[in-house]
Amino acid sequence: MKPEDMIWRLLEHLALQLQLLEESQEQLDPKKQEDLMIVLGECEQLTRTQINILRRMGRRYGGI
């Protein structure tokens, strides 16, 4: 497997994870489940960081 293929595959998985996190946040009651909203927000931020890192490497390995 080429590096750009691996990066693309990981980006696809992270995009699905990001979508799941966003959908999960929409289903929560911000007042009753504030602690869970905060945790999901932190997970979303970490996922976005991972995506940015992989995109940066993708530019290095073939312009992903």
pLDDT tens string for the chain (64 positions)?
A: 899 999 999 999 999 999 999 999 999 998 999 999 999 999 999 999 999 999 999 998 876 6
- Dihedral over Cα of 58, 53, 9, 12: its sign: negative
Q: Tell whether 59 is covered by a domain.
A: yes
- Show Cβ contacts of residue 8 under 8 Å, excluding neighbours closer than 6 positions: 58, 64
Q: Tell whether 54 is covered by a domain.
A: yes
User: pTM, whole model, 2 decimals?
Assistant: 0.86
Q: Tell whether 26 is covered by a domain.
A: no
Query: What pLDDT is recorded for position 64?
Result: 62
CB 25 within 8 A of CB 40: yes
Q: What CA–CA distance (Å, rounded) separates 64 from 15?
A: 14
Domain range holding 45? 1-6+40-64
Rg (CA), the chain: 15
Query: What pLDDT is recorded for position 54?
Result: 96
Q: Tell whether 46 is covered by a domain.
A: yes
